Amino acid sequence: MSDIHEEINPSVRNFIKSIRDFGYTFEVAVADIIDNSISAGASRISIHCLNDVFAILDNGIGMNENELKECMRLASKDPTLERDKKDLGRFGLGLKTASWSQCKRLTVISKKDYQVSSRCWDLDYIEKHDKWLLLKNKEIDNKPLYKELEKLKSGTLVVWGNLDRNKKITDSLKKLRHHLALVFHRFMEGAGRFGKLQISINKNPIIPFNPFNEEHPATQEIQIEKIKINNRTVSITPYILPHHSKLSSQEYERYATDDGYIKSQGFYLYRENRILIYGTWWGLHRATDAHKLVRIRVDIPNSLDTHWGIDVKKSTARPTPEIKGELKKVIKQITVKGSKPYTGRGNKIKDLTVERFWQLKQLNDSKIRFSINKEHPLIKKINLNLSKDEKKLFKTLLNGLEAYIPLDAIQANLQSRPKEIHQESALSENEIVELAKKLTELGMSEEEIQEWTKTELFKNNELNLSNES
């Protein structure tokens, strides 16, 4: 017995309002359009964004009339079907949902075999008629970048009109440039089918940004791990970026990105050379200052989208428990190595060949405290010349300095601008030279001179106290 049914169509005017709220940001929406250009074999992509008019032109294979109409269809692809390795799409929604998140009028003009076709989705027109009515736009020669399209053998031009969600998109160009430089850096470095992809915004080329600083000699690339998921290979490559002491201020700030090192640590998920997610631990590890130089590249094929929970926007992912188990193993190994640039430097305070102002003191309850070294020659020398009451006052001063070290402020500044901290400049070289002269004039014994030469004052400044006069 067959089921009795009746057809109930959704309200198009209401549905279109809902589909505009997928959560795209401006830069993520633009990246989604560029995915189509790369899948179409483009080697050059030009972005026009002036006076709040937005357009993207590529020199890909283009579309004929029928192909363009199918491209404008919602859900034009079956997400369960196996796709070409170079296909960066999945649902057949990206062009439409990304565009509608920013504008109400999407025009696509495409050229193939020297023939130009155009179609337009106008949301106001759809809402008025409450039907999916695709417009055949005849006024196309006044669109931005259209004259450049005319010069090409083939290509596609996407134009956003009636920008009601982001009326000041020109204010977002810096963020857009940084986002595209990161997300598509491999294509711009030559990973595409036609050599290095060129992307420009208002005729200014975008310089690719490799987040792992692979060319720097101090960058550590850990051995690649390969795991099998559903008979497909996933490659995992951990990196430890150089400590700030190995970089110039400009280079250090560049690799911090706008998000900073703390938020930029963790996994960078690539699907077919395109970054989908970056700067995340997927809840498997807590972001810490000690691991801020750790970045882990994960390369997956597009056939594993469902296992990684890739969404329509290609900006969030939810790996399966099986995958998370494998990632935890990688985290455990790399974070131990990743903390060494900091723990290694921290251990220097225990160097017995140098008499330091500060020392790390182990307390009875397994806690530690930074304390002033009361056996430092300078402190001992001062104490010798103080009265009993003055010694008590001096001790109180030292204890107060210990108790109120501004650790939070120190940590915050080390994270945000370590290259700007110049603590050693509090004591000038002239002052140290003068101190050396004064000490030699006091007629110290050879043992006393050796004790002073072990101090940070002279070790760090390469001054030989015994030769000063």
- Structural domain spans, the chain: 12-205, 220-344, 349-467
- C-beta separation of 185 from 45 below 8 A: no
Q: Are 49 and 173 contacting, i.e. CB atoms less than 8 angstroms apart?
A: yes
Fold of the 220-344 domain: Ribosomal Protein S5; domain 2 (3.30.230)
Specify the amino acid at residue 72. M
Comparing C-alpha atoms, which of 65, 78, 68, 71 is closest to residue 115? 65
Q: Quote the CA–CA distance of 164 and 103 in Å, as a whole number.
A: 6
Work out the angle between the directed axes of helices 429-441 and 446-453 (0-180°, nearest 10).
Answer: 170
The pTM of the full predicted model, rounded to 2 decimals, is: 0.74
Q: pLDDT by residue for the chain (469 residues), tens digit each?
A: 567 888 787 788 888 888 888 889 999 999 999 999 999 999 999 999 987 789 999 999 999 999 999 999 886 554 444 545 554 444 457 799 999 999 999 999 999 998 999 999 999 999 999 999 999 877 788 899 999 999 999 999 999 999 988 777 888 899 999 999 999 999 999 987 668 999 999 999 999 999 999 999 999 999 888 988 888 899 999 999 999 889 988 899 999 998 899 999 999 999 999 999 999 999 999 998 889 999 999 999 988 888 898 877 777 889 999 999 999 989 988 888 776 665 544 444 455 567 778 777 777 666 777 888 877 877 877 877 788 888 788 888 888 887 888 877 776 676 667 767 766 656 677 776 777 677 676 666 666 766 766 676 666 665 555 555 4
Token pair belonging to 50: 């002036």
* Helix spans in 160-248 (H): 173-183, 185-186
Q: What are the structure tokens assigned to 395, written together?
A: 């001790």
Query: How many other C-beta atoms lie within 10 A of the C-beta of residue 259?
Result: 12
Q: Which two tokens stand for residue 92?
A: 């057949």
Q: What does CATH list as the number for 12-205? A: 3.30.565.10
Residues 109 and 116 sit within 8 Å (Cβ to Cβ)? yes
